[in-house]
Each structure stands twice: as structure tokens, then as C-alpha cells.
Chains A and B, each alone.
Chain A
């Protein structure tokens, strides 16, 4: 069973607020990802990281930013939230390079609503 945790699970905030979505994994995975998913729609990759101090933009442009200071931690930040940011944000990690199967494990998601 995967050990990847996201907080908060649900967040309702007003426009203009700064928010940080937390993601932590205890599996020692090097690679971590953030996906965005609107209700009933596809997942889109917005950020990923190969390891500490590595961050890359994903396929879908996003105003959010990420950091990877520790292997186990990959937070996502929105400096000024807007209603268009309302969505579900899913964090994932993949298994160590030595195993190299590339299997992806997901957290439970953070559902963000910006009023």
C-alpha cells in the first residue's frame, strides 16, 4: 500500500489568498508529480520533480509553483488564488530508480474551492 499523504483534503478560501497544498511520501521515491483534475475530466500534469532541488513544468500551464527541498516533501503553492483555480489537485510519486518499474502511486487529493 502506498504511503503518500496530502493535506488539506478540502479547502474553501476567498480570492486573493495564498495557499499551499502539502504532499508527503514515506517511500523514499525520487520522482514526484502534481496533477490537476476538474470534475469528470482528465488528469493533467502541472509539475514534476526528479529529486531534491529539481522541479519542472508539466504539460498543462499552471500559475502554481512547487519546491522540492526534501525528498519526501513536494508542496504546491498558489500566491493569489482565483476562482479559476478551483479544482482537485492530486500528488503522486513513483518508485525508486533502482526498481525502475515506473509505477505511480497517488495521494487522496486536495479539493480546492476559491470563492
Chain B
């Protein structure tokens, strides 16, 4: 299957600062990537769909000015959590879609805001 690499795997930041998470497709080109958030013992919640060369599409209730998504190339999408607060602490995961519609996920990023 396709390989999606996410970096960093974990990050601790101070409240009010911004954090950037990278998601790379290593062996294929991904015109569309997806960003999810997962709280403990809960399901993956889709935050936004990242489209190469155009604006991301955000799900209802997700603040686009707080969660900035950039998909500048066919192999890289980034999620920046701006002015992070403790309630933003969560597990963030990106994915790219395979030819059959299956999702290939990155390793995830554990964000802790202190």
C-alpha cells in the first residue's frame, strides 16, 4: 500500500504559540489529503479536506483561521494549529486516498498544549 509520513510524531508547545504538522505522501502523488482529530477513546473526526493548489474544505464547526492547511505540492500537506490552547491537545492524523477509496494514514501527531 501507499506510504504516508507524518511529522512530528509528538509535540509539546506553550499556550498561545503555533505548531505545524507535516504530512507527506512518499511513493505517490496525492491531490487530496484529509486531516482528522481523535480524542481519547473517541472516533476519528474529519477536520478538513486538503486540495493541492486550492483552498482546503473545512468541516462544520472547524475554525479555518485556527487550523491553517496548506497543500502546496502533490506530496505535501501541512496543518498549522495557530494560537494553540490546552483544549487543542489531541491526536492529529492525516490520510491520503488510494485508488479503491481506501485511506492510507500517517503515523499521527500527539499535540500537547501546556
Question: Is the A/B pair a real complex?
Answer: no
